[in-house]
Every structure is written in C-alpha cells, then in structure tokens.
C-alpha cells in the first residue's frame, strides 16, 4: 500500500505536493461524513469480497481550481523543454511499471475485479503505451510540404495545446490513463487527471510514480473524486483538450459542452453494442472461441465486449450448441486465482443494471439459453460472499431493429444470439443497425466476406477471425457514431493534444505569391 495517507485518507497530488482536500463534496453511498453531514472521504472496495482496500479524500471544486492553476502555471516551462527531455521522465515510469508488473497486476485485479492475467495485461499495456510515447520523441515530427513557389519552404509543425483534462474509467485503471497522459506529456502539455472513483488506489500509485520520476511541479496533477470533480475539470476555460474514456451518456454531455466553446476540443471514447458475424464459411472452433473471449472477458465490462452474435442459419445450430456448452461451464471465481475466467462485477449498482437488462431481454421476447445471473452458493469462493457476483446470461431472439436489448449497452455478461439468412451483406446490415460503432469481428474462411466486413462495418476497430477485444497501443483505438471520434491512442491522440501550424518561409529577396496572385503594390501615382 502506498504511503501518502493521512488520518482522513489519501489526498490529491497538486503542484508537486500531496495535499488534503480543501472542501466537501455532495453525498455518495461510499463516502464518510463529518459531524455536520458533509462528505469528505470515500472508499476503494474489492468487488470480489466487499472489503475496503483504502480510504481517499473526495476532491472539490477548490481542489480542481488549484490543480488547474498549477497546470496552467507550469505549461510554458514544460513546453520549452525538448521532446527528448520530456520523454526522459517517462522512461523512469516505464521501468517501474515493468519492475512492479506482478505487484501492480494483483492490485488491478483486487480493485476492479479482473482476473489476474487481465490485471497483469493492464500493466503491460501501460508500459507499452509509455514506451511508444517516449520512443516517439526521437521520431520525425511534422512534414515538409512542397511549395509551388521555388523560393519558399513549407512545413507542417505541431505545438502543444496547453492544459489537458483527463477522465479515465475503472475497467482499465492503469493502461488507459497512460493512453491519455503519456502522449499528452511528451507532446508538451500539462495534465489534470481524475481517476475513476471505483479505482482510486490505482490512481494513487500512478501519481506516486509521477512524483518519484521527478516530473516538474504542476506538470502532472491528480484529483480523486466523483463526477462533480470531473465536471469541474472539463468545464473550466483553462482546459484546452478533454480526453475522456467512459460511458456514452457522460461522454456526449462532455462533448456537447466542450464543442460549444471556441478553440476547445473533446476527444471521447465511449461504449459499444459490439457484434460478431459468424458466416456460413466460418471455422467453428475459431468462431466459438472468439465469441466466448469477446463476450465474457472482464465479465463483459469492456467497451469492446460483444453483446450480439450474428450467426448464419446454416451454422446456427452447431454454433449455438458449442457456445452454450462452454458458457454453462465458464469458471467464475476469485480473480486472483489462475483458473478463474470471469471475476465479479465492479459494484452492487452495476449488478442491478445487468439484472435489469436480462429482464428486458425476456420482456422483449428472448428465449433464454443460459441464465447463470444468480450463481449457486457453491460457485462463490469461500470468504467472498459479499462480492458483486454475476454469471453469464445468453439468449436468442429474432432480429427486430427497435429492440432495446439489441441497441442499448448492458456492459456485462449479457449476450444475444441472432440468426440471419442470406449473404454477408445481410449480416453486416444487422451488425450496423445500432447507435454505436466501436468494435466488431467477422469469422469466415472466405476473404471476400472478410473484406466486405472490413470495408462496410460501421466501426473503428475491426477484427477477422479474432475476438473483438483489445488493440495494440500503436493502433488507433476508438469508434464512430455514438461510440466516439477515434482519438484516444497513439498517433490519433497526438491530433487531440496538439495544434497544427502550417509554416511557410520565403528564402528569396523578392516576394512571389502562389496561385498567380500578383505581389505588385500599386499606388494612385501609378
């Protein structure tokens, strides 16, 4: 456990110092109160056991104001450093992430409930992103653009936008913060970050890493807390770009507010109602394996999880039988155990949300194939009765475009099987018929079907003969339609945290214009 603990809980990291919260936030079910009833702290909870892991102070608007002031004051000195000097700070963090891989992976699993291989992979993904961002500091930046005038040189250059507000989710509590912050920092911006309230311990450790690396005061700042602290960050005029990963509802609210402010930008990566198309030309082993991975890894709590399996009528019965057989036996259990496939849901409110979507599917005519929502007592590990346990729920339903269960994201182990007839064009039409457009996959041995899906599926992340989960850090990560605008990772994130400058320099002693525009100055005497 980290050491920045006061009697009132872990504080915030602002301007290079650990500080206590300076005010009080609104009520929350996970807060502790002062004698006057005002909330001052909240708890990190292990979703597998219900036990408290640590206590944290809840950020206020006053705390956010101090963090933004520190970030704003630090910006000019930070941008004056070279790319390479800025990246040097991140190399220390890269090595710490690698050295503490096992320890941090276990912390991730304890705090957000992901099974242990996923907890470790979260940390690995973080160091991959730091490696990419820091290594990119030595790569070419900008472009030389030919001019139609021989005496001119033209360039495209980038400069940092300024203060970046980062709001990150609980399901990737180490990886996604570094998606946002590693690139923002190397590009010369300063950062104010609010981790998810469900995973403040991971946030605490990342802030300690930044402190240990000697990041200059004010360049990185962290505020713990809830949505009110996040809103105070995103709404402030000092924030030039908002990087958000989370729910569509919150993301669209942020994008709407930020989009109305001239010069301000919001890069939001949100949810999905992702689908896998299994054609009549599919390899059935690959199809079933991909579907199980896509639907139930992280207990379905990934923005790229598949909640719709769109299967051709010629292979539907075979696929259904094999898929259901495996799902009925998926190992749900202690996320720290190597033989666990699915851990718990993140919190009690989310268990209830999953229940409501399972009930909705029944109301809309679903034929339930697997209902392990309420696990048997024997399936719950000893000492874990207070955890937020939930099992797989699988149903088949006739496709209708207006069904809520096929259009709304559950964000849990809730999966629909949809039978289709006809060609791959018909499958892709069903696949695209949701408000979302994040991730999807096609399983087929016919390259023409694969290419049709690649070109016509309305998604930002497309997979062939693979699960529709994950993306290597050097690839873009984001979606279309309600799922966002595709900025959050690698080169695309650079677009969000920098501004382009088209720089043209005249090398001649004369002025000559492009497009045949006359450079002659004429006076009335002429």
* Segment 91-142, tens digit of pLDDT: 999 999 999 999 999 999 999 999 999 999 999 999 999 999 999 999 988 8
d(CA 113, CA 348): 13
Residue 284 structure tokens: 């059935």
Which band of pLDDT confidence, cut at 50, 70 and 90, is reported for residue 305?
Answer: very high
Give the pLDDT score at 487.
65
Residue 275 structure tokens: 């689908």
d(CA 58, CA 51): 19
Which band of pLDDT confidence, cut at 50, 70 and 90, is reported for residue 31?
Answer: low
Task: Check 268, 303, 405, 410 and give the catalytic one.
Answer: 303
- The pLDDT of 244-252, averaged and rounded, is 89
Give the pLDDT score at 36.
41
Give the pLDDT score at 33.
53
303 part of the active site: yes
Please state, for a pLDDT cut of 70, what percent of the chain lies above it.
94
Using N-to-C axis directions, what is the helix angle for 83-99 and 200-212, rounded to 10°?
130
Give the pLDDT score at 260.
84
Are the CB atoms for 175 and 125 separated by under 8 Å? Answer: yes
445 part of the active site: no
Can you list the alpha helix ranges (DSSP code H) found in 153-311? 175-186, 200-212, 227-234, 248-259, 284-296
Give the pLDDT score at 141.
85
Residue 416 structure tokens: 């629909």
- The pLDDT of 291-311, averaged and rounded, is 97
Asked which of 214-228, 291-305, 471-485 is least confident by mean pLDDT, the reply is: 471-485
d(CA 196, CA 188): 25
- The tens digit of pLDDT for each residue in 399-444 reads 999 999 999 999 999 999 999 999 999 999 999 999 999 999 999 9
The number of beta carbons lying within 10 Å of the beta carbon of residue 102 is: 11
d(CA 337, CA 87): 37
- The pLDDT of 309-331, averaged and rounded, is 98
CA angle 16, 20, 25 (to 5 degrees): 120
Q: Is the pLDDT of residue 236 over 50?
A: yes
- CB contact set of 139 (below 8 Å; sequence gap of 6+): none
Which band of pLDDT confidence, cut at 50, 70 and 90, is reported for residue 488?
Answer: low
- CB contact set of 414 (below 8 Å; sequence gap of 6+): 300, 307, 354, 357, 358, 361, 393
Task: Check 118, 197, 269, 347 and give the catalytic one.
Answer: 269
Give the pLDDT score at 37.
40
Please state, for a pLDDT cut of 90, what percent of the chain lies above it.
83
Which band of pLDDT confidence, cut at 50, 70 and 90, is reported for residue 26?
Answer: very low
- The pLDDT of 495-510, averaged and rounded, is 93
Give the pLDDT score at 28.
41
Using N-to-C axis directions, what is the helix angle for 61-80 and 227-234, rounded to 10°?
40
> Which three-class secondary structure state does DSSP give residue 367?
strand
Give the pLDDT score at 176.
94
What pTM value is reported for the model? Answer: 0.93
141-150, 313-322, 505-514, range with greatest mean pLDDT: 313-322
15-24, 317-326, 374-383, range with greatest mean pLDDT: 317-326
Are the CB atoms for 303 and 270 separated by under 8 Å? Answer: yes
d(CA 186, CA 81): 10
- CB contact set of 70 (below 8 Å; sequence gap of 6+): 14, 15, 16, 217, 218, 221
């Amino acid at each position: 456990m980290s050491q920045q603990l006061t009697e009132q809980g872990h504080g915030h990291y602002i301007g290079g110092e650990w500080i206590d919260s300076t005010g009080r936030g609104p009520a929350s079910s996970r807060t502790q109160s002062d004698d006057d009833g005002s909330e001052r702290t909240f708890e990190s909870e292990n979703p597998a056991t219900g036990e408290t892991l640590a206590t944290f102070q809840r950020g206020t608007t006053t705390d956010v104001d101090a963090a933004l002031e520190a970030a704003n004051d630090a910006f000019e000195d930070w941008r004056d450093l070279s790319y390479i000097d800025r990246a040097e700070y991140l190399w220390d963090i890269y090595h710490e992430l690698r050295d503490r891989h096992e320890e941090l992976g276990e912390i991730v699993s304890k705090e957000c409930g992901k099974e242990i291989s996923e907890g470790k992979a979260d940390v690995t993904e973080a160091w991959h992103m730091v490696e990419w961002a820091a290594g990119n500091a030595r790569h070419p930046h900008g472009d030389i653009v030919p001019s139609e005038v021989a005496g001119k040189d033209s360039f495209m250059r980038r400069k940092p936008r300024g203060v970046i507000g980062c709001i990150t989710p609980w399901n990737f509590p180490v990886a996604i913060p570094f998606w946002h912050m590693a690139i923002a920092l190397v590009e010369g911006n300063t950062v104010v970050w609010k981790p998810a309230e469900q995973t403040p311990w991971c946030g605490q450790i990342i802030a300690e890493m930044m402190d240990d690396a000697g990041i200059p005061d004010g360049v990185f700042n962290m505020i713990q807390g809830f949505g009110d602290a996040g809103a105070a960050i995103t709404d402030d005029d000092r924030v030039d770009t908002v990087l958000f990963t989370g729910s569509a509802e919150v993301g669209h609210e942020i994008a709407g507010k930020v989009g109305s402010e001239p010069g301000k930008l919001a890069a939001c990566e949100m949810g999905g109602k992702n689908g896998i198309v299994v054609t009549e030309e599919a390899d059935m082993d690959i199809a079933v394996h991909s579907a199980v991975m896509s639907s139930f890894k992280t207990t379905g709590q990934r923005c790229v999880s598949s909640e719709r399996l769109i299967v051709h009528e010629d292979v539907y019965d075979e696929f259904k039988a094999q898929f259901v057989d495996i799902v009925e036996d998926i190992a749900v259990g202690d996320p720290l155990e190597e033989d666990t496939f699915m851990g718990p849901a993140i919190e009690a409110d989310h268990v209830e949300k999953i229940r409501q979507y399972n009930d909705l599917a029944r109301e809309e005519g679903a034929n339930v194939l697997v209902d392990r929502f309420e696990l048997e007592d024997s399936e719950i590990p000893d000492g874990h009765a207070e955890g937020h346990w939930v099992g797989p729920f699988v149903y088949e339903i006739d496709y209708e475009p207006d069904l809520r269960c096929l259009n709304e994201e559950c964000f849990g182990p809730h999966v629909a099987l949809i039978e289709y007839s006809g060609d791959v064009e018909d499958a892709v039409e069903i696949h695209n018929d949701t408000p979302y457009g994040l991730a999807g996959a096609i399983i087929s041995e016919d390259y023409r079907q694969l290419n049709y899906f690649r070109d016509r599926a309305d998604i930002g992340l497309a997979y062939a003969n693979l699960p529709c989960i994950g993306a290597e850090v050097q690839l873009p990560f984001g979606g279309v339609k309600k799922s966002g605008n595709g900025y959050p990772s690698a080169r695309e994130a650079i677009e969000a945290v920098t501004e382009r400058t088209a720089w043209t320099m005249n090398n001649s002693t004369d002025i000559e214009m492009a497009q045949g525009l006359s450079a002659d100055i004429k006076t009335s005497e002429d």
